[in-house]
Structure 1
Amino acid sequence: MSTSFRLSAATGLHKGDRPYQQDQVVIMAHHRVKGCVLAVVADGMGGRSGGRAAADQVMMTAKQVFERFAPETDSPEAMLGSIVREAHLLIRLVAIAAEQEPHSTIAAFVIMPNGSCMWVHAGDSRIYHFRNGQLLYQTSDHSYVQTLVDQGELTLEEARFHPQSNILLNCLGTAEDPPLIHHRIPVLKHGDVLMACSDGIWHYFAPEELSSITRLLSPREASQFLIERAQMRATGTGDNMSLAIVKIESIPSDKPDKPTKPRSASKSGKGVKPADQTPGSSSPLVS
């Protein structure tokens, strides 16, 4: 039977145990080109108003740049780079005008109509690429503890619980321009899952857990489960939480390639329940 692809997607946002929310997240479909989707997570820092303003600026910039983006002719890497550079500049201008020190991370990926995917990140918000329950790739944090991991002084598990795990070396709004760290997936396949999230989520899960959860649950169910479980594991000290999950699913075509004979009812008399449709937005990809 011939198949096509669809995107099933969901976002999650929760303030955790903090008195206010500084994270922001969005998944948006291109206004003109079907099958082109952008996901962005931003973790704001710099006090109640400053951090939220920085994250909001990332969201506003992402929407404006993506609206100008022409998937047929424009470079997706250049588009993502524009989001990072423009948001960084605007956050710096806000800092000067308001005498604050707002900063924000960014983790953003764009899925193209031909099934390819590009991403960019700055800070310690992460992007994961899972395939059939296995981790294929994840971003590397721009943090102090990540440098210790890279130098062999810490394991990844030790880094998760290091007392200085919240110290960032690069993000948006700092004095120096953030690095543009790109990654490209040539072709997404059925069973692939892309997940962007802030440290309020990934801090409480090993990659193996995340891959299993996103494989077994729909994006909507996985988002709810991860937020609830992270809040439980934080035991009253949890950070803001934000995540965006996109799953690549195959759906059968309307007409089978070959005629099939009807099956007789089972002896028990019970019919077979059809698979539930996964909630969330969907767009076709080229198979």
Structure 2
Amino acid sequence: MKTKGYRLNAATGIHKGDRDYQQDQVTLLSHPRAKGCILAVLADGMGGRSGGRKASDQVMLTAQQLFERYSPETDDPIATLKQLVLEAHTVIKLTAISSEEEPHSTVATYLINPGGDCYWAHAGDSRIYHFHGNQLVKRTLDHSYVQTLVNRGELTAEEANFHPQSNILTGCLGTDDEPKIDTHFITRMKIGDSLMACSDGVWHYFNETELGSVLLSLSPREASEFLIDKARSRAKGSGDNLSLVIVKFDPLLR
């Protein structure tokens, strides 16, 4: 997809890993009316086989409905992303009441406008990474117990990855409390930039140096396949569901 000053190159990847069923969901949407406007959404569902999938499905449905109505010229992108998270959260809570299940989900989503300005939002421990070349510019911080310990200086990021309580979240969709939503704004994406959203089934097995090298050297399709294969190998038969969505900002083709 060509737009002003760069070409968008993108791919999604998903695998059930070593689980019996898939609760992750991921999508990459092109705006129906605005060329160069895209929305990436990833959700890691939790709460048993059907409950987790119902939760992540609801995130996808909400995203599709809101993005169809979104106007890049007039609407507030951050407000739209927050609305996506909160509306999905509300419906997931209602699903729990009607189905007698406990569906929950994370969400990591980024929206790129035709002018190259970018916005993201997340709730839970699915992450968004922004690289320029192989250098990390910024990433989201997990809403998790171990991230709280890292923030306090009680753990390093490396120690947190292997902490026995690393799977405990302090916020996500579908809980009694409204989810904490962190947002970020990038004024203009540049040639050489990459954005990746991924579930913990992916990021758990890589450091930032490795991710930057992969995103620099491979196309989004190749990178998604490589990261899923390598994460599965490193999980040694005990891996979670895996999902990711990558967008690279490449030079315009001559």
TM-score strictly above 0.5: yes
* 1:145 alignment counterpart: 146
* Equivalences, count: 251
Paired with 1:66 and 1:88, the residues of 2 have a C-alpha distance of: 17
Paired with 1:234 and 1:82, the residues of 2 have a C-alpha distance of: 35
* 1:155 alignment counterpart: 156
* 1:62 alignment counterpart: 63
* 1:231 alignment counterpart: 232
SS of match in other structure, 2:128? strand
**Coordinate RMSD, CA, aligned:** 0.8
Paired with 1:166 and 1:67, the residues of 2 have a C-alpha distance of: 34
Larger radius of gyration: 1
Contact (CA 8 Å) 1:124, 1:198: kept in 2 or not? yes
* 1:33 alignment counterpart: 34
Question: Structure 1, unaligned stretches of length 5 or more?
Answer: 254-287
SS of match in other structure, 1:168? coil
1:181-220 residue CA offsets vs partner (Å, 9 max, x unmatched)? 1100001000000000000000000011001100000000
Contact (CA 8 Å) 1:14, 1:242: kept in 2 or not? yes
Give, as a single letter, the amino acid of the residue that structure 1 aligns with 2:91. Answer: L
Quote the sequence identity (%).
Answer: 63
1:126-137 counterparts in 2 under 5 A?
126-137=127-138
Paired with 1:51 and 1:239, the residues of 2 have a C-alpha distance of: 13
* 2:102 alignment counterpart: 101
Paired with 2:44 and 2:253, the residues of 1 have a C-alpha distance of: 38
* 2:171 alignment counterpart: 170
SS of match in other structure, 2:244? strand
* 1:125 alignment counterpart: 126
TM-score normalised by structure 1 residue count: 0.86
SS of match in other structure, 1:251? coil
Deviation for aligned residue 1:251: 1.3
* 1:214 alignment counterpart: 215
Give, as a single letter, the amino acid of the residue that structure 1 aligns with 2:155. Answer: L
SS of match in other structure, 1:167? coil
1:65-80 counterparts in 2 under 5 A?
65-80=66-81
SS of match in other structure, 1:205? coil
Paired with 1:40 and 1:210, the residues of 2 have a C-alpha distance of: 19
Deviation for aligned residue 1:252: 4.5
1:7-39 residue CA offsets vs partner (Å, 9 max, x unmatched)? 000000000000000000000100000010000
Give, as a single letter, the amino acid of the residue that structure 2 aligns with 1:18. Answer: R
Contact (CA 8 Å) 1:4, 1:252: kept in 2 or not? no
Contact (CA 8 Å) 1:50, 1:103: kept in 2 or not? yes
Give, as a single letter, the amino acid of the residue that structure 2 aligns with 1:225. Answer: F
* 1:47 alignment counterpart: 48
Paired with 2:241 and 2:133, the residues of 1 have a C-alpha distance of: 29
1:147-203 residue CA offsets vs partner (Å, 9 max, x unmatched)? 000011110001111111000010000100012211000010000000000000000
SS of match in other structure, 1:97? helix
Deviation for aligned residue 1:4: 2.8
1:262-287 residue CA offsets vs partner (Å, 9 max, x unmatched)? xxxxxxxxxxxxxxxxxxxxxxxxxx
* 1:248 alignment counterpart: 249
Paired with 2:125 and 2:5, the residues of 1 have a C-alpha distance of: 35
Give, as a single letter, the amino acid of the residue that structure 2 aligns with 1:217. Answer: L
